[in-house]
A = this chain, B = another copy of it.
Amino acid sequence: MRVLAIGAHPDDLEILCGGTLARFRERGDEVVMCHVANGNLGHTEIPSAELREIRREEARRAAAVIGAESVTLDIGDMDVFLERSSRNRMVDVIRRAAPDVMIVPAPTDYLADHVISSQISVDASFVASLPQFVTEVDVHFRLTPIYFTDTIAGVRFEPEEYVDISSVEKTKREMIACHESQARWLKEHDDIDYVEFAMKQSAFRGVQCGVAYAEGYRLHRVWGRIPTKRYLP
């Protein structure tokens, strides 16, 4: 199976669904990790241009932990709007990834970059299936199920499906830890221990479904995308 996971910024996927992606990989699925915004405003002191490069590299290292491919739309932070150019670039990301299932940010998440990345991903996924919408990449006919990841801190999100990530807890920690610049920023900006912050949420989701660590999801439930089997690992 081919999995395309889309996050708002470098590190969001690792925090919200890193364990699930590791489990997809464990069972042999191909995984492409895409972040929409390049994270260039995510630091108090490192200049944007430099930070953009640093974070691109951090995302690549995190993906490499599980042998996933890392791609990006490379949009500036807080510059994600619902417009043709971004939507269409996402169409090609999807056509290249040719996924059987997609994972995207929740529309109730805390920040515009997340909310609009969610919309762009969903919209582009349909466009990618239309043969008359010609781009430089071949059409990807399949309308896949789309799962929303948990929100940051789990606010306004009640999971419908849970993935047990207890067996890959360390892998998830390792993936998150690749984002060194972010760990420093969150420490400075919000006094948050980055890896622990993420794992507290995974521990809580684990409490809810009776395992050590878990990640939660909701299906984007619309016509043409509702499965009759479980896609999540």
Contacts and interface: CB of A to CB of B under 8 A. Distances in A.
Contacts of A155: 158, 208, 221-223, 226
A148 B208 CA distance: 19
Nearest to A230: B230
A160 interface: yes
Interface in A174-233: 189-190, 197, 200-201, 203-204, 206-211, 214, 219, 221-230
Copies of this chain: 6
A164 B206 CA distance: 23
Interface string A82-125: 11100000000000000000000000011110000001001100
Given A190-B224, A228-B214, A130 B204 contact: no
Contacts of A71: none
Interface residues of A, number: 65
B160 A130 contact: no
A226 B162 contact: yes
Top 10 closest pairs, chain A to chain B, by CB: A110-B222, A204-B204, A153-B223, A230-B230, A209-B226, A164-B228, A110-B223, A112-B123, A41-B132, A152-B223
Interface of A: 40-41, 43-45, 47-48, 51, 77-79, 81-84, 109-112, 119, 122-123, 126-127, 130-133, 141, 151-156, 158, 160, 162-164, 189-190, 197, 200-201, 203-204, 206-211, 214, 219, 221-230
